[in-house]
Chain A
Amino acid sequence: DTGVSQDPRHKITKRGQNVTFRCDPISEHNRLYWYRQTLGQGPEFLTYFQNEAQLEKSRLLSDRFSAERPKGSFSTLEIQRTEQGDSAMYLCASSRARDGDEQYFGPGTRLTVT
C-alpha cells in the first residue's frame, strides 16, 4: 500500500492557460474523489468516481473543470482557461466501500495562477 499519489506537486501557470493534474489512488480502491482547499479553509468537494463512472459533481465544478477516470484506475483533473481564483491546493482521495469507505488523501497539487 503506497498511498495516494498526485502529480505534479506544484504548478505555476499564467491566467488563461490550461492545466492538468493526475491522481493515482491506493490500489484496489474503487472510489476516487477530488477536493479543492484554499488557505485557512477545509477541503471542498469537487467530484467523485466509482470505478470509471463519475457519479457526483459539486456546483463548484464550473464548465472549465473536467475530470476523467478512463479505466477506473488513475484520474485526471483539467482546468481550462485558468483564473486567479483557481489558485488552491487540489486534493485527491480514494476509498474502498468494504473497508468502511474512509477517504485517504494524497499530498495535493498546489496551483498558483499568476
Chain B
Amino acid sequence: EDQVTQSPEALRLQEGESSSLNCSYTVSGLRGLFWYRQDPGKGPEFLFTLYSAGEEKEKERLKATLTKKESFLHITAPKPEDSATYLCAVQARKDTGRRALTFGSGTRLQVQP
C-alpha cells in the first residue's frame, strides 16, 4: 500500500527565515511525486511534479527536490503570503493502471511578518 508521511505537521517561520518541508514516501513503483498548496476552505493548487531521483523544480521562493525515498520543499526567504498547507502526493507507475494520488496529511506553514 502506498504511503506518504509529511513532517513537520506545523511550522511557524518569521518572514525571511528559510526552511524545508519533508515528504517521505513508499510506493510500488513511482510515476510521479506532486506538491500542492492548499489555502483554508479551498481546493489544492498544483505546484510541481517530480518524476525521478535528482530532479529539482523551482517556482518563485519554492524549490522541490526528489530522492528515492523522500522529497523536500525548500522555502527561501518566505513571505506572509506563503502561509498555507503544503501537501505532498505520489502516483504509482502507469503500468499499474492506477491514477489515484496518495496524499500525506500536509504541513501547515505560518509565516509571520
Contacts and interface: CB of A to CB of B under 8 A. Distances in A.
Interface residues of A, number: 28
A35 B100 CA distance: 9
Nearest to A31: B99
Given A42-B106, A105-B44, A106-B43, A56 B98 contact: yes
Interface of A: 4, 31, 33, 35, 40-45, 48, 50, 55-56, 58, 91, 93, 95, 100-108, 110
A101 B46 contact: no
Nearest to A48: B99
Contacts of B43: 4, 91, 93, 105-108
Q: How many residues of B sit at the interface, in one of the four size bands? A: 20 to 34
Given A40-B105, A42-B87, A42-B105, A107 B100 contact: no
B44 A101 contact: no
B73 interface: no
